[in-house]
Structure 1
Amino acid sequence: MARLKLGPILDDKPVKLTIELPATVHRDLLDYSRVHAAETGLGEPLPPERLIPSMVERFMGSDRGFTRTRK
């Protein structure tokens, strides 16, 4: 099985946002959640709203241009 970039999801105090996603992205998130649950040993897949913050955080952390400009 391929290793996912997203590791375990930690609980943190959330800030509520409302976003709209294309249906294709939502379906992909649901699929990703199922694969993530299987890879991390979770019984139930996490809902997409629990995955998105970690995905965005990882994306921004790996964006060298953002990291360089932010400093």
Structure 2
Amino acid sequence: MTRIKLSDISDEKPVKLTIEIPARLHRDLCDYGLVLNAGGAEGAPKPEDLVGPMLSRFIASDREFARARRKQLLK
């Protein structure tokens, strides 16, 4: 089984965000959704559903950001 970093996509109330991404990144997100769904296209998460959890995971794992954020909040 492939171990990928994104495992849980929770259903939260979304906030609309409009962005443009390169076509290559869109294809990668489509492929990521397929892998996350064990290769099946039916029921695979859409690319737009992956972006939020991926960004959340990235921010949560950024130690420098956490350090800077704590410093900012302590001021």
Structure-1-length-normalised TM-score: 0.90
Q: Report the RMSD for the aligned CA atoms in angstroms.
A: 1.6
**Per-residue CA distance 1:20-45 (angstroms, 9 max, x = gap):** 00000000000000000118xxx511
- 2:66 corresponds to 1:67: yes
Instruction: Give the CA deviation at 1:2.
Output: 2.1
2:6 corresponding residue in structure 1: 6
2:55 is matched with which residue?
Answer: 56
TM-score by length of 2: 0.85
Structure 1 partner of 2:21:
21
Tell me the matched-pair count. Answer: 69
Q: Which structure 1 residue ranges, 4+ long, deviate > 4 Å from structure 2?
A: none
Q: Which has the larger radius of gyration?
A: 2
Listed as ranges, the matches of 1:35-50 within 5 Å are 35-38=35-38, 43-50=42-49
Q: Which runs of 5+ in 1 are unaligned?
A: none
Query: 1:12 Cα shift?
Result: 0.1
- Structure 1 CA distance, aligned partners of 2:8 and 2:62? 21
